[in-house]
């Protein structure tokens, strides 16, 4: 959103002033900004190949086509989605209407500068934002969502309303801002009261309460208990299925077949993850990680009674580096649930699993450091240019 917003504003500003300077500045700022934030986005971009990220745009209700303004679905399972979307649609219409009305009233009042001086026409790209956002929330913008890189991963067109907040605030105040001190005091008081009132309204009528298992207290309790969390399907390994991972699994489960099914369906909730318990007999033996090893370094030192596979309660990601009796492990089996299955022989097993720093993370750190150096250099050059004493 930030990248496309910067590009759009730079294009409009360049066209309004008939100069390439805004585009050049925006390009430099984008490159430098991406470099400074590389520690986050570069691993996120590269490690998408580790997961089935396509599901983020393919699941019902999560694609941009399912979230146009006031769209309605015949599927009854989408009823709650459509109800929320209807509320968001009315909020979107109100925000865009307020911004456009603010521009019109401010223009007629003369509070928007009409001179051709470039610095006095900064309101032009700002006024274009609500119109562009409105277009992006209706089906006519479908080609843009399909053509622009990564645009579809925004999922919900109404997320662009974040970009409308600043135009609404600026143009509404420009439209109602009185010239007298008393009038300005009244206007500020009315705006504060209105803001507080809308905040209370949003908190009571629009705030969605978390499910009991998603509250902070429940999440903290699950973390401390070590039971783990239900993952999002788009972040499961390619070919894996988070929905088939049994709950209650031990840290390590010895099986004879790497594809053995662990756990049984929940009779009270057939659509939920299966449940594992020791009396099911799906594990020949169970083992626990060392308590002091930490979440990024797992260690097991046990005696295995027979050869087989140790199914670890760890998702199969390339960053996990496995070592068995001092030797690296390359073959981790192939399970439907995406868990790691390590082949072991009978006898002593010294198994470690460490979350390593992959090359993409190292490259991101270097890129960030270089960007900090460039930013510091630019700041120093600008400081010297403005202050002759530093030359």
Q: What is the per-residue DSSP string for 154-177?
A: G--GGGGGGGGHHHHHHHHHHHH-
pLDDT of residue 226: 67
- Number of neighbours of residue 178 by Cβ within 10 angstroms: 12
How far, in whole angstroms, is CA 302 from its chain's centroid? Answer: 40
Tell me which residue range forms the domain holding 377. 359-390
Identify any residues that bridge with 299 across adjacent strands, giving them in sequence order: 352
Interacting residues of 271 by C-beta distance below 8 A, sequence separation 6+? none
Q: Is residue 180 part of a domain?
A: yes
**197/317 same-domain check:** no
Q: Is residue 100 part of a domain?
A: yes
**112/180 same-domain check:** yes
**327/377 same-domain check:** no
Where among 206, 228, 254 does a domain terminate? 206
pLDDT of residue 193: 93
Q: What would you measure as the largest C-alpha separation in the chain, in angstroms?
A: 88
- Per DSSP, the residues of 20-78 read SHHHHHHHHHHHHHHHHTHHHHHHHHHGGGGTTTTHHHHSTT-SGGGGSTT---S-GGG
**147/191 same-domain check:** yes
Residue 70 to residue 341: CA distance in whole angstroms: 47
**125/10 same-domain check:** yes
Buried b (16+ CB within 10 A) or exposed e, 85-101: beebbeebeebbebbbe
Residue 384 to residue 391: CA distance in whole angstroms: 6
Check pLDDT > 80 for residue 388: no
- Fill in the DSSP letter of residue 237: P
How far, in whole angstroms, is CA 261 from its chain's centroid? Answer: 32
- Per DSSP, the residues of 300-344 read EEEEESS-EEEEEEEE--TTEEEEETTEE-------TT-EEEEEE
Q: What is the pLDDT of residues 16-56, one digit of tens each?
A: 888 898 899 899 899 999 999 999 999 999 999 898 888 88
The first and second tokens of residue 60, run together, are 């019902």
Q: Is residue 181 part of a domain?
A: yes
3-state helix, strand, coil in the chain (%, to 5): 55, 10, 30
Q: What is the pLDDT of residues 166-178, one digit of tens each?
A: 999 999 988 888 8
Q: Is residue 307 part of a domain?
A: yes
**Domain tally for the chain?**
3
Quote the pTM value.
Answer: 0.79
**243/284 same-domain check:** yes
Q: What is the chain's mean pLDDT, rounded?
A: 87
């Amino acid at each position: 959103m930030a990248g496309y917003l910067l590009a759009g504003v730079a294009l409009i500003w360049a066209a309004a002033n008939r100069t390439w300077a805004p585009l050049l500045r925006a390009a430099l700022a984008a490159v430098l900004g991406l470099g400074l934030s590389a520690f986050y986005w570069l691993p996120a971009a590269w490690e998408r190949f580790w997961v089935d990220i396509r599901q983020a745009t393919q699941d019902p209700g999560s694609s941009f086509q399912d979230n146009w303004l006031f769209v309605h679905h015949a599927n009854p399972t989408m009823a709650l989605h459509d109800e929320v979307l209807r509320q968001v649609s009315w909020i979107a219409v109100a925000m865009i209407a307020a911004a456009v009305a603010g521009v019109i009233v401010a223009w007629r009042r003369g509070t928007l500068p009409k001179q051709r001086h470039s610095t006095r026409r900064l309101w032009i790209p700002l006024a274009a934002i609500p119109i562009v956002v409105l277009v992006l929330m209706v089906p006519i913008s479908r080609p843009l969502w399909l053509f622009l890189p990564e645009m579809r991963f925004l999922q919900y067109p109404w997320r662009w309303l974040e970009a409308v907040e600043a135009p609404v605030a600026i143009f509404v105040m420009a439209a109602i801002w009185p010239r007298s001190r008393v009038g300005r005091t009244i206007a500020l008081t009315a705006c504060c009261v209105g803001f507080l009132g809308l905040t209370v309204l949003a908190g009571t009528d629009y705030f969605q309460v978390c499910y009991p298992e998603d509250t902070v207290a429940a999440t903290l309790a699950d973390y401390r208990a070590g039971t783990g969390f239900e993952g999002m399907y788009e972040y499961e390994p390619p070919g894996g299925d988070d929905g088939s991972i049994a709950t209650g699994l031990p840290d390590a489960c010895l099986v004879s077949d790497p594809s053995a099914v662990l756990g049984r369906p929940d009779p009270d909730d057939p659509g939920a993850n299966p449940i594992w318990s020791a009396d099911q007999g799906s594990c020949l033996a169970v083992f626990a990680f060392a308590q002091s090893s930490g979440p990024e370094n797992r260690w097991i030192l046990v005696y295995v009674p027979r050869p087989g596979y140790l199914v670890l309660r760890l998702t199969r990601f390339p960053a996990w580096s496995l070592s068995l009796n001092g030797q690296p492990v390359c073959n981790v089996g192939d399970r439907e649930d995406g868990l790691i299955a390590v082949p072991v022989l009978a006898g002593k097993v010294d198994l470690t699993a460490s979350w390593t720093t992959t090359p993409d993370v190292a490259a991101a750190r270097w890129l960030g450091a270089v960007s900090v150096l460039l930013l510091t250099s630019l700041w120093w050059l600008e400081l010297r240019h403005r202050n002759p004493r530093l030359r």
